[in-house]
Amino acid sequence: MAPKFKDGDAVVAINGKWISWTHTAVAYTAFFSALIVGMALHFRKIVQNEHYGYPDEWFPSVSATIGDRYPERSFFQVFIAITSGPRFALVFLWYILTARPNSTLPKVVAGVGLFRTFTCGGWTYVTSTDDHDWHDIFMISYLVATLPWTLGCLALSPNNRRAVKYRKIMASLFFGTLVPLIYYFIQHKVHKVPGAYTKYAFFEWSLILFDVGFDAVTALDFEAFEIVVRDVKGVSRGQLKTTADSVLEKEKGKPVGNTFGEGFFWSEIIDAVADAYNGFVLWSMWTALPLLVWYFPLWHMGISGYEVAIVCYLSPILLAVPGLKFVAAKNPRIFHLLSLCGLLAYKVQDPANRLFLIGFSVICGGISWTATLYAERANGSRLEARVFAWGIGLIMSSVAKFACKTNNPVWPIMHAENGGWNKLGLLLAVLAALRTFRQTPTSGGDYLPSGKKGSPVLAGLGVGGLVFAMHSMLSDSSTMISWVWDGYPVRGPIAAPHGAWTIFVMGAGLVYGLFYPRVAGSWTAFGIGSLGAAMVTCYSHWTGFYGALILAFYLLAVTPVLISSAVRHSPAMTFGLGMFLYMFLILFHVWVVAYAFVPGGPLVREHTDWLMTTVMLSIGAGVFSAGVTNASTPKSKTVSPNSRRQRSYYTYVLVALQLLSVSIAYLRFPTNDYVPYHKDEKIATMGIWTVHFGLDNDMWASERRMRDVIQELELDVIGLLESDNQRIIMGNRDVTQSLAEDLGMYADFGPGPNKHTWGAALLSKFPIVNSTHHLLPSPVGELAPAIHATLDMYGEMIDVVVFHSGQEEDPEDRRLQTEYLSKLMGESPRPLILLSYLVTKPLEGNYNTYVSELSGMHDIDPTDWDRWCEYILYKNLKKVGYARVSRDSITDTEIQVGKFAIGEPQSEGDMLIPEEMVPPGRRFPSLFRGQGVRGHRYHVFNEPRYYH
């Protein structure tokens, strides 16, 4: 349609269709002109990546094409600058076209469109060569904003069948392309497959085609729409129905259809955010208590008495006192504000007092949470909102830990120096509490909804099993990944990026449970959830992880069902009984691994399968009770307007968290381009350290202090022992994630937490070609873990074994473990290094089996008589140096370090030489001489030892 000129019109009227096609043509020109120029002038350079070049890789990625070289970068930047004008006009026209009275969605979509335009300028003009971090930040912001832009445009599309059809096709192709895109990126980054980056590049360029093509479809909607103050067909005045109008009319009365048809009010979205943050604070304190309790038996090496603090979880039983129940139901804000004292616990230096403060916080939080649910039981929309907020609080906690590499930033083991956000967390908690509890609950007496209420005992069992399952499996996005991890090569998920999958499935499950509670509470759903539990318990790799995702979805989906059923009974009965079961399950899950230290432990030794069965049966009991309730409750075919608005706002919060988790996954994706400290000299510096679960002597998280000393010692490979924290009592943490990402190292940990050991881990600057996890013979005492890995050290295959033997009290266990490991090392045809915790004296007992003809191993320094636990042994390698470094207050064990020359024959003698005779590249850092740094220094010999 040509531009129109009529009396009263503007002097020039530009057709919207022309703007849309201009935007499309110039955008494609920007990208493909750069591609053509780049391929013509710098083909081999732009197809080269960190692993391979031509002919393995023969097509460039988008980033390499538009940002690495002149003049193609200039071509792209010039044309993309020209695109900006039509782009802003397109966003403006789309808003005019879709704006309707009393509708905020068009404004939100327009805002997202402007945001995408600015972020596009960000990654365009700040290339990966200029500043890789900011380029990635702008790029991921653009990609994340694409989801709400796409969905918003689909929802607001005018009722034009052709446009809607092509818009759906382009959106489906765009998001569908992300799957193979991520797959080939992982093949390139993690597995280093030749040619994988070229395949990734094709899908990346496809995203460009589909992204621009999606916006090009607007030309079909703009055919009768001009950049004039006059609308030729009345679309903007609401005279024509949009797709969103048609869908809402068709879906009227259905849960999803009713959710997003209301106006948008900032006051109510703030309410939803405050509710969700209150849930986050509750889960943060809830998950902190066992972690603080764990500190005391850890340092007492047995039951300390402080374990009794877990009875704080039983606080809902106090609501059996009528006066307390009345006060808590009428004024839950009192107990909630008191519970915030736990966020101040980081100010308390004494570990015992910190534990007591957190215990008080958990008591008040349990009373406040239970009383609030009970008080809102007669108000369906408010009860639903509280349950939604509680579930989102768990997801928010998991997202926070995902961002902070498995430490919750408001935990009392955190402070500013080790990555804590305690002050900000407290400020937001106070504001959220004041916002949420500015009004009293809508009911509080003894009224219960009519109909059958099921069994309070079964309902309580359901609550207890549910809370335990959520805490033990879902309070960190990497916990279930660690269950199914089984070493290199990578055959399953990794913590980043796949932790975002867990978070996404949790959110999807919660939404599904709220929209379709009868399906989520059915026996069919229970059967599917139980299948997922069985799969994650019994299988490894992707099969086990798919079971984990099924279980995560089910647990969040059944949450509204079980909680809604439980509040129909006395809170002291259901939640008190539920927390009693929860406390029992915590002890159960500790006993299965700590059987050697607790009374009756051998009865449940290594029976995680029994634990999982108990949990699912408990949830099944709650499902049965809820089924009785549902059967006596009439089906409601409509959703109240108030509920619709609330659902939409909580869903917005949930979507924001999902987008945040995707961004975190992208930023945390491993680079796998790690370089040893002394690659020119072909030196490998190896270390062994028992890290005491990442809690220092004063009950602070110690990952950053560990990172600093490992980096300053220039360790290329380090074995970490007592490193498995993926249990409730350890906080569901993973010290290897923080260390590996900050230090730039590959990480292997295992056997996993479902294999009942205290954990072993391996961090390496060298690629881990293969690794096998071993459970050594332990008929009496605790299980002994070992990792047997093959590393590619400067082109040579070198074996490294990380091993923790059994405790001193079980000599037969240690004898059997010695024979097993010695045979394993002796059978290896490659050079080998053992980084170990052996519990033996030098030259005595089992030592002479480890260092023997059977194993072929040699002690790094047989004259070092002052050892008991940690040893470094080797074979078929040339040792260069050996040092012992004090721990300061990080743990109870020193760091032992050895240097080896890779590719040089093993020396026959052990002659000590002075440091002056050692080339600088083979020396240990001088930083640790004398008084050292931050309490770390060379001790025992007071200096390193060097050999010739």
Q: Is 173 exposed, middle or buried (0-12, 13-18, 19+ CB in 10 A)?
A: middle
Assess contact for 746 and 698: CB atoms under 8 A: no
Give the type of residue at 220. L
Beta bridge partners of 932: none
Q: Is 642 exposed, middle or buried (0-12, 13-18, 19+ CB in 10 A)?
A: middle
Phi/psi of residue 285, nearest 5 degrees = -70, -35
Cα separation, 119 vs 138, whole angstroms? 5
Q: What is the Cα gyration radius of the chain?
A: 31
Q: Is 523 exposed, middle or buried (0-12, 13-18, 19+ CB in 10 A)?
A: exposed
Cα separation, 777 vs 819, whole angstroms? 10
Tokens, residue 269: 């979205």
Which among 23, 692, 774, 804 is annotated as catalytic? 804
Assess contact for 320 and 377: CB atoms under 8 A: no
Give the type of residue at 163. A
User: What is the total residue count of the chain?
Assistant: 948
Assess contact for 349 and 698: CB atoms under 8 A: yes
Output b/e per residue, 749-771; b: 16+ Cβ within 10 A.
bbbbbbbbbbbbbbbbbbebeeb
Pairing of strands 683-690, 895-901: antiparallel
Cα separation, 541 vs 557, whole angstroms? 25
3-state secondary structure of 318: helix
Phi/psi of residue 917, nearest 5 degrees = -85, -5
Q: Is 756 noted as a catalytic residue in this protein?
A: no
Q: Is the bond into 194 cis (omega within 30 degrees of 0)?
A: no
How many C-alpha atoms does 832 have within 13 Å on its Cβ side?
Answer: 25
Beta bridge partners of 847: none
- Non-local (6+) Cβ contacts of 131 within 8 A are none
Q: How many CB atoms lie within 10 A of CB 64?
A: 24
3-state secondary structure of 944: coil
Tokens, residue 609: 């399968």
**Positions of E strands within 200-347:** 226-227
Cα separation, 709 vs 696, whole angstroms? 14
Cα separation, 119 vs 116, whole angstroms? 5
Assess contact for 292 and 412: CB atoms under 8 A: yes
Cα separation, 83 vs 89, whole angstroms? 10
Cα separation, 838 vs 261, whole angstroms? 66
Pairing of strands 796-804, 832-837: parallel
Tokens, residue 380: 């369906």
What secondary structure letter does DSSP report for 158? B
Pairing of strands 717-721, 683-690: parallel
Give the residue from 253, 251, 255 showing the smallest Cα distance to 519: 255
Give the residue from 174, 139, 175 showing the smallest Cα distance to 67: 139
Give the type of residue at 736. T
Assess contact for 947 and 911: CB atoms under 8 A: yes
Phi/psi of residue 371, nearest 5 degrees = -65, -35
Assess contact for 741 and 767: CB atoms under 8 A: no
* Residues belonging to the active site: 804
